[in-house]
Structure 1
Amino acid sequence: MTAPATTRDVGAWTTVLLALLAAGPILVLSFGAADDGGVAVSAWALLLGAVWFTGGGIVLAIRRQVDRDDSPPRPARHRVLTSLLAGAALATASLVGGLVLSSWPATAPLVAAPLAAAASQPVALLLAVAFVTGAAEEVFFRLAFPTLLRGWWRWIVPTVLYAIVTLCSGTPALALMAAVLGVVAMWTLDRTRWWPAPIIVHAVWTVAMIGIFPVLVGR
């Protein structure tokens, strides 16, 4: 016997709310730990990833009882290529935007916090942690949370809340980028009907912003 739909919905929404409330302070502590060294930054980031993975997993487990998408995915080659191209386009736009912001004295402080966090630990470690955390974000905000909504609200509500939570990093530019990332990742998911798609988009973007961007700006 399964719980009534109303009870399941309450449980799913409660999980989303608790995850969002927990994530904000963790993100603040993560970026604030840059002066304490890479281990502290990575530890907070992994804790944040655990929040997203756990919350998303619970919501998916609940919604799986009532929501089943039996539509076939796109052909494998198409969905992989679409995911990679979407990630590459997003990464290119982000690199250009980041370079423009960092080149102007008035806007350079907007990207200072992410660069400081990147400089606090080895790139390989940072990339590994970012891949895990990024995948967790996609599980929560693209695969799980939207199942509670319908129509365009599936795009709007998770993306707006994703940007608001990211704003806790103290970096408005990163929050804006989170909104763009959310839209691109959600578009790719809907286009391919393939759950790894948004994770691939996020991974490509991560490589560009953590592995390439600091090199381009000389950090």
Structure 2
Amino acid sequence: MTTLVTEGWEQLRGAVLHREPAHPAEPPRTIKRRRIVVVVFLVIGAVFLGLSLSTKPGDAIFYVYTLALAAVWCVGAALSRPLHLGRVTWRGHRRRPILTGIGVGLGLGAVFVVGGLVVRTIPPLKDLVTSVFEHATAGNIVVVLVIALVNGIAEELFFRGALYSALGRHYPVIFSTLIYIVVTMASGNPMLGFAAIFLGFVAAVERRATDGVLAPILTHVAWTSVIFLALPPLFGV
């Protein structure tokens, strides 16, 4: 039993620390095009993010802005192609990181739920979190959850796909996370920026480990599902 646990830990550690690119270096023209696209769509996306969370809870325009934001990230990612799903090394084989992405997302969601138990006891922080979830509970929560999941997928395609690749060897884990935080802060809510620190860093490490966007996407989807289902009741929204 001890041998199995040790072997499992070594396999997991190796998968996370893996950083050898699985794809050949790209030509300068491709890199330049991707960087121009990324800068343009970062600005556009930040504007739509700010607009979406500046609306009143329950206002139909909120759905329009958030879907438009998802479209911005997706178009930006598509124009900065190519993107790769990535693989993770497990027991000597390169596999799609499906269970890895979902497992990390569920674990990260659990950490946020525990953090929520603390945050709700601090009135200023509780108000910031409540203001975010008011958008979810003021409308159809299923519709809002679907839109949030679509946005999560779109964000990973752009930030851990296009942006991460555009950074090349310039510390992509660190700078993609910092840029993600800055753009998220365009919402005007510091708690979203705080969440972006953890989610952005974890997703960036997964991007480095798997050389693709599948694991970050699955982590974001799992994390979003836990947050939307667990935190609103916790905060009485």
TM-score computed with the length of structure 1 as normaliser: 0.85
Distance of aligned partners of 1:191 and 1:13 in 2 relative to their CA distance in 1, 3 Å threshold: closer
Aligned positions of 1:3-82 closer than 5 A: 5-35=27-57, 37=59, 39-61=60-82, 73-74=88-89, 79-82=97-100
Unaligned runs of 5+ in 1: none
The amino acid across from 2:89 in the alignment is R
* Local SS of the residue matching 2:80: helix
* Local SS of the residue matching 1:103: coil
Q: Could you tell me which residue of structure 2 aligns to residue 105 of structure 1?
A: 123
Q: Could you tell me which residue of structure 2 aligns to residue 163 of structure 1?
A: 181
| Residue-pair matches, total | 209
Give the deviation of 1:108 after TM superposition.
1.7
Tell me the distance in 1 between the aligned counterparts of 2:99 and 2:29: 40
The amino acid across from 1:18 in the alignment is V
Q: Deviations over 1:110-163 (max 9, x none)?
A: 213212222221110011101111100000011221112244611111111111
The answer to whether the Cα contact below 8 Å between 1:34 and 1:116 also exists between their aligned partners in 2 is no
Give the deviation of 1:5 after TM superposition.
4.1
Distance of aligned partners of 1:174 and 1:72 in 2 relative to their CA distance in 1, 3 Å threshold: closer
Distance of aligned partners of 1:92 and 1:166 in 2 relative to their CA distance in 1, 3 Å threshold: same
Unaligned runs of 5+ in 2: 1-25
Q: Residue 134 in 1 paired to residue 152 in 2? A: yes
Which has the larger share of helix?
A: 1
Aligned-residue RMSD, C-alpha = 2.5
* Local SS of the residue matching 1:33: coil
What is the percent sequence identity of the aligned residues?
A: 29
The answer to whether the Cα contact below 8 Å between 1:86 and 1:188 also exists between their aligned partners in 2 is no
Q: Could you tell me which residue of structure 1 aligns to residue 113 of structure 2?
A: 95
Decide which of 146, 166, 183 is 1:148's aligned counterpart. Answer: 166
Q: Could you tell me which residue of structure 2 aligns to residue 209 of structure 1?
A: 227
The amino acid across from 2:39 in the alignment is L
Tell me the distance in 1 between the aligned counterparts of 2:27 and 2:212: 26
Q: Could you tell me which residue of structure 1 aligns to residue 4 of structure 2?
A: none
Distance of aligned partners of 1:99 and 1:151 in 2 relative to their CA distance in 1, 3 Å threshold: farther
Distance of aligned partners of 1:48 and 1:82 in 2 relative to their CA distance in 1, 3 Å threshold: same
Runs of 4 or more above 4 Å deviation: 75-78
Distance of aligned partners of 1:164 and 1:217 in 2 relative to their CA distance in 1, 3 Å threshold: same
* Local SS of the residue matching 1:32: coil
* Local SS of the residue matching 2:209: helix
TM-score computed with the length of structure 2 as normaliser: 0.79
Q: Could you tell me which residue of structure 1 aligns to residue 194 of structure 2?
A: 176
Tell me the distance in 1 between the aligned counterparts of 2:87 and 2:231: 37
Tell me the distance in 2 between the aligned counterparts of 1:195 and 1:6: 22
Give the deviation of 1:52 after TM superposition.
0.5
